[in-house]
Structure 1
Amino acid sequence: MKHKHVSVLIVGGGLTGLTSALFLARHNIDYLLVEKHADTAIHPKAGGITFRTMELFRQLGLEEAIRTTSKPLDNIRGRIAVETIKDIDLAELKQGESTQKEIDNKIVKMIEKISPSKAASCYQMNLEPILLQAAEKGKGHIRFNTELVTYQQDDLGVTATIIDRNTGTEEIIRSDYLIAADGAKSSICKHIGIPTTGRGVIGGHYINIYFQADLSTFLQGSQFGFYQVLNPEVFGALITVNNRDQWIYHVAYDPSKGDRPEDFTEERCREIIKKAIGVPDLDFVILSTLPWAAVERTATRFQDNRVFLVGDSAHLMPPTGGFGSNTGIQDAHNLAWKLAAVIHKQAHPRLLETYHDERHHAVQVTTKYASDLLFSAVNKGISTLNNMDHLAVTVGYKYSSKAVIEQEPTTHRMDRLELNGRPGTRAPHLWVNYQGKCISTLDLIDGNFVLFTGENNSLWHTAAQNVSSHLGITINVYSIGSQGDLVEREDSWETLYDVTPHGAVLIRPDGFVAWRTKEGESNPNLILKQVMTSLLW
C-alpha cells in the first residue's frame, strides 16, 4: 500500500467538503479530500445562498462567479397556490408578483445596511463545479471516486484507509485531523456512535422529480419561484431551476402506507407531472429523481478527539428558510481557522474544542427556527416562531466560548438583529475608503486577526507588532477616522462598534468579534498580550 501524510483528511466532496478545502487552503493548510462519487452533484438541490454565506464566498474571491451563475434566478420570488399550473390566473399572478416585490425590496434595503453581499440562488449542481475549480487551483489534493474504508485515531493523529473505486487500490493516509463532510448518512458519525437529538422526520417524505419542459404558455414570464399545486392526486410543489425550461416537482409519499422511493418509476413520475401541470399530452423529459425528507436531527457532539463533524453529518434541518447548506458552510469556516492555528502551532489544541461550543449552539438556534417555519406553514399561518428574527438567525447569532472574551452582562437578543461589535457576534459591516478604493470593513478580514482602533493608534499598532512577534501570529491593525487608514463614507465606526475614539475591537479570522474595549486601555501592550494568550492558549 502507498502511504501519505496530510494535515487534514476531508471525507466528502459536496458543498461542505469543498468549502472546507477552500478555507483550509486559504490558511496554507495541506489537505486531501476524498469523495466516493465520480463527479459533483447532478441533481438540483440546496439552491439558496444567504448573504452571510455570500460574504464568505466574497472572501474566497468567488462572489462574482457565483453571482453570474445565479443571475437567471435573481428575480425569482414568492409563492402561489394553484389547482394545477394550467389553471393559473395570470392577473392574480402579476398582482402577487408586485406585492412580493415590494416585500423583497424592503428586505434587500435592510440587508444592504448590514452586508456588502446579497443573497443568491444557485443550485448545488451549479455551485459545486465553481468550488471544485477554485480548489483545484490551490493547495491540497482532491480525489473523486475514492472512498474511506476505515480509520482509527490516536493521540498524535488519524490513520485512514481509502480505496480507489475504479482500480480497487487501497492506500493508507496519515493525517493530523479528519473532517467528516460525508453527508446525512455519514459513515463516520455512525462509526463514532455519537447520539443525536431532534424529532426526526417532521415534514414528510418526498420525491424530487427533475424535468425539462416548456411551460411558458401557462406562466408567461412569471417570476414566482414556488407554485403549490393543490390537486389532491399529486399534491406538491413546482420550483424553477433555471427560470426557463428546467423544473423540479416535489411530491409527497407515505412510508407508513407502504410507499417506497423505488415505486416512483419513470412512468409514474410522468403521470404525476402531467396531472400537476394539468396537460395530459405535455411534452417533457424527466432528467432524474431523488427522494428526500424534512428531517430535524443534530449530533450531540461535533468533535470526537481529532475528528470533526460538519454540515449534514452533524445536523439536518427542514429546508424552510433555506438554512441547511449555508449552516454547513459556516461550520467549515468556523473550523478552518482554528485547525490552521493549531497546525501552525499558533494555538493550543484546546482551541479546537470551541468549534463544538460555538457551532452547536448556532445550529440549535437555526434548526429551531427552520422547524418553526415549517410548522407555521403547515398550520396555515399560525405562528410558532417565538419572536426570532429571520436576519438575526441568518447572521445575528452569538458565539460563547473560550475563543471569545466578553464582560457584558446583558443577554444577547434573537428577536431583532443586533450587530454592534459585541464580542461573539459577526463584526459590523461599514463602507470605508482604503488606499483609494471603497471597501467593506469585512473585506479586511483576510484570514488573520484584525484590530480596529481610532485614529490615534500608535500605541495599539506597537502593541500588535510586539504581540504578533511574541506569539508568531499576524494581527493586522487599521485606524478608522478622517485621518486614519480607513475613512468612513457614511456611518460612524464608533456608533456601529459601540466604542469611543479611544476604543479598540479585535476580530477573529472568521469575522467574529473576539474582544472589545470601549474606552481604551492604559497599557495596550499588556492587555493585548493577555487577550491573545487567553484566546489561543
Structure 2
Amino acid sequence: MHQKADHRVPVLIVGGSLVGLSMSVFLGRLGVRHMLVERHSGTSIHPRGRGNNVRTMELFRVAGIEPDIKAAASLLADNHGILQTPTLVGDAGEWLFKQIDPGGGLARFSPTSWCLCSQNDLEPVLLDSARELGGDLRYFHRMESFAQDADGVTATVLDRTTEERCTVRADYLIAADGPRSPVRHALGIGQTGPGDLFANVSVTFRSAGLAEVVGDRRFICCYLTHPDADGALLPVDNKERWVFHAPWHPEHGETLDEFTEERLQRHISRAVGVPGLDVEITGKASWRAAERVADRYSSGRVFLAGDSAHEMSPTGAFGSNTGIQDAHNLAWKLAAVLAGWAGPGLLDSYDTERRPVALATSARASARSVEHSHPGFAPAPGVGGGKRGGILNVVLGYRYPHGSGPEQPVVPEGLNLTGEPGTRAPHLWLRRAGQRLSTLDLYERSLVLLTDAPDDAGWHEAARRIADTDGVRLDAYRIGPGADADLTYDTEDGDWAKLHGTTADGAVLVRPDGFVAWRATGAVPDPQETLRQALRTLLRTA
C-alpha cells in the first residue's frame, strides 16, 4: 500500500494550532522534512491562550522568532498581574499578584522572560516561520484515517476544498489534534485524571467606555466576583477590544443558546459595575477546562503532543506551554533518529520524560485555579488540593529521570538549576567573537560538551574525535577568560564550572533541548571512552 503513496515525508503532523505549528518550526530548524494537515482554513481568530512562559520563550528565542513574537505582543507588553474584585468601579479588590517577576530576579535564571501574546497573534508568527523553513503546511485538510506497520505510517488525507483524497506515507506521525484527539481514540489510549472541571463561554466584545473604568490598571486578567455576574475580563488592546469569560453550567442543564447577545451584554455590564455600559458582542465560543493526561504518549510510530496528550486548567497558562515543550522534546529526538545518530529507543524517552511533567503540571494548574477562585470553578473533593505557591519551579525547574542516583520529585520545592543531569542547563552570559550570548543559545542542533579552557583534562579533544569518527552531532566549547577559549565570560566573575556543579577538570554534556544529559565532576583516565559510553547510554546506541 505505502509503495503507491502520493506523498512521502519523514514526519506527518496532524493539527496546526500552537503545538502543531511549534513542532513544524522545531523540525524545520533541524532540517527534518514534514507535512502538516489542519482541518480549519487558517490560524486561530479568537484571542485565547495568551500566556507564554519563560521556558517557552527560551525555545522561541533559540528558534529565532522571539523578536517577531514580542512585536506581535506589543499591545499588551505593559500588562502584568491578576486583579480580583467585585467591581471595577472605584479601587476595590486586591491583586492576586501584581508583577510576574517582582524585583527582576528571573534574569539570574534566563536570558528572556514571560510574554503575553494571544493565540491569534502568535500562530501567524509560527506559521510564517514554519513556511520559511520549508514546512509543507496544508490548511483545510483533514486526516481521515491512518494505519501503521513496522516501517511507518500511511494516512489518508482529504482536501476539504476539492474533496480529493491523497495518501501520505511517513516514518512517524505526530497527533497534535486537540483534546478530543481522533488519533488518540483510534489508538485506544485512555486518560487519567479528574476530568471536566468547569465550563465557560468566551466572548469577544468592543466597548469604548470600559477603558475609562479600568483606568491605569494594566492587568493580564481580572476576576470579577459579582454574585450574579461573575467572570474573567481580559484586555485585547487596553482600549476598546476585550474578552470576557462567563461561567457556563451545562451540568445544570444550561445550554449555549441561553447565552444570547442581550444576556451577555447585561452580564458584562453588571460584572464590571457599570449599568448600561456600551457592549458590542463580536464573537462567542464555548470551552471546558479539564484535568486529564493520556495513559501513554505513543503507540508504535505515532506520538501524542499538546492537548491530545494532556488537558489542564487554564490558570497559570500551563497547558499550551506544556504542549509546546512536548514538541521541542520530541523534535530533536526524531531528528536524531531519522539522521541515524541515535537509536529508535531514544523515542521511548518522550513518554518517560514528558508524561510525568504533565501529571505534575496539571495538578498544579488545578491547585492554582482553586487558589485564585477561578470564576465558575467549584472543585469536587480532592480536586485542586495539590501544592500551591510560586510557579517558577514548575515552569523552569521540572526534572527528567536520568538514572544516576535517587530520583527526585518531577517538580522540586524551589528553583535550583545547578547542572544536575535531568534538569534544564543553567543560563550564563558569554561572548563569542564579540557577540553576547547565553549558554542556552548553544543548544538546538547538536549535543554540546562544555569544558574549561584550555581543557588539559582532554575532554575537548575526545569530543572532537567522537564527532569525527562516530557520526554523532556533537559540538564542544571551551569556556574561560583566555585566548584559547571558544567562549569567554561576559563578566569578570564568570565561572561556568561552579554554575554547572563541576570543576575545571570536569565536563558537562547538554542535549539539543537544553537539558543536562551527563556530567563528570573531574578528570578521568580515558575521557574519550567515558564520553563515548555516556553518549551510547543517552542515544540508545549501545
SS in 2 for 1:174: strand
Aligned partner of 1:342 in structure 2 is: 337
- State which of 58, 78, 82 in structure 1 corresponds to 2:81: 78
More divergent stretch after superposition (228-237 vs 276-285): 276-285
C-alpha distance in 2 between matches for 1:454 and 1:121: 38
TM superposition shift of 1:104: 4.2
Amino acid at match of 2:476: V
Aligned partner of 2:365 in structure 1 is: 370
- Alpha-carbon displacement from aligned partner over 1:234-275 (angstroms, at most 9, x marks no partner): 221211122222111111121122112233233332332233
Aligned partner of 2:30 in structure 1 is: 27
| Residue 213 (str. 1) matches residue 211 (str. 2) | no
Aligned partner of 2:439 in structure 1 is: 441
Distance 1:388 1:535, change over 3 A: farther
C-alpha distance in 1 between matches for 2:150 and 2:367: 42
Aligned partner of 1:454 in structure 2 is: 452
1:84-483 aligned at under 5 Å gives the runs 84-85=87-88, 88-90=89-91, 101=98, 104-106=100-102, 109-202=104-197, 204-214=198-208, 215-378=210-373, 384-386=385-387, 389-400=390-401, 404=402, 406-409=403-406, 411=408, 414-457=412-455, 459-483=458-482
C-alpha distance in 1 between matches for 2:5 and 2:479: 54
Q: How many residues align?
A: 523
- Alpha-carbon displacement from aligned partner over 1:197-238 (angstroms, at most 9, x marks no partner): 000122x21111111112122122321232222222222121
Aligned partner of 2:17 in structure 1 is: 14
C-alpha distance in 2 between matches for 1:386 and 1:83: 27
Distance 1:6 1:183, change over 3 A: same
Aligned partner of 1:485 in structure 2 is: 486
C-alpha distance in 1 between matches for 2:388 and 2:268: 38
SS in 1 for 2:372: helix
TM superposition shift of 1:24: 0.7
C-alpha distance in 2 between matches for 1:341 and 1:117: 27
SS in 1 for 2:73: helix
Residue 368 of structure 2 contacts residue 388 of structure 2 at CA under 8 Å; is this kept in 1?
no
TM superposition shift of 1:376: 2.5
TM-score, normalising length: structure 2: 0.92
Q: Provide the aligned C-alpha RMSD in A.
A: 2.1
Distance 1:425 1:209, change over 3 A: same
More divergent stretch after superposition (193-202 vs 215-224): 215-224
| Residue 530 (str. 1) matches residue 533 (str. 2) | yes
C-alpha distance in 2 between matches for 1:258 and 1:411: 45
Residue 149 of structure 1 contacts residue 162 of structure 1 at CA under 8 Å; is this kept in 2?
yes
C-alpha distance in 2 between matches for 1:436 and 1:79: 41
More divergent stretch after superposition (206-215 vs 36-45): 206-215
C-alpha distance in 1 between matches for 2:331 and 2:101: 35
TM superposition shift of 1:326: 0.3
1:53-64 aligned at under 5 Å gives the runs 53-64=56-67
Aligned partner of 2:514 in structure 1 is: 511
C-alpha distance in 1 between matches for 2:475 and 2:439: 12
More divergent stretch after superposition (463-472 vs 430-439): 463-472
Amino acid at match of 1:525: Q
TM superposition shift of 1:194: 0.5
Task: Specify which structure has the higher proportion of helix.
Answer: 1
C-alpha distance in 2 between matches for 1:410 and 1:79: 35
Instruction: Give the gaps of 5 or more residues in structure 1.
Output: none
C-alpha distance in 2 between matches for 1:461 and 1:105: 38
- Alpha-carbon displacement from aligned partner over 1:76-99 (angstroms, at most 9, x marks no partner): 1223333343xx214x57xx67x9
C-alpha distance in 1 between matches for 2:111 and 2:70: 13
Residue 149 of structure 1 contacts residue 161 of structure 1 at CA under 8 Å; is this kept in 2?
yes
Amino acid at match of 1:234: A
C-alpha distance in 1 between matches for 2:329 and 2:196: 28
C-alpha distance in 2 between matches for 1:229 and 1:535: 50
- Alpha-carbon displacement from aligned partner over 1:443-497 (angstroms, at most 9, x marks no partner): 1113210000011226222211221123312211111111122222244212210
TM superposition shift of 1:410: 7.1
Distance 1:337 1:517, change over 3 A: same
Instruction: Give the gaps of 5 or more residues in structure 2.
Output: none
TM superposition shift of 1:346: 1.3
Residue 315 of structure 2 contacts residue 365 of structure 2 at CA under 8 Å; is this kept in 1?
yes
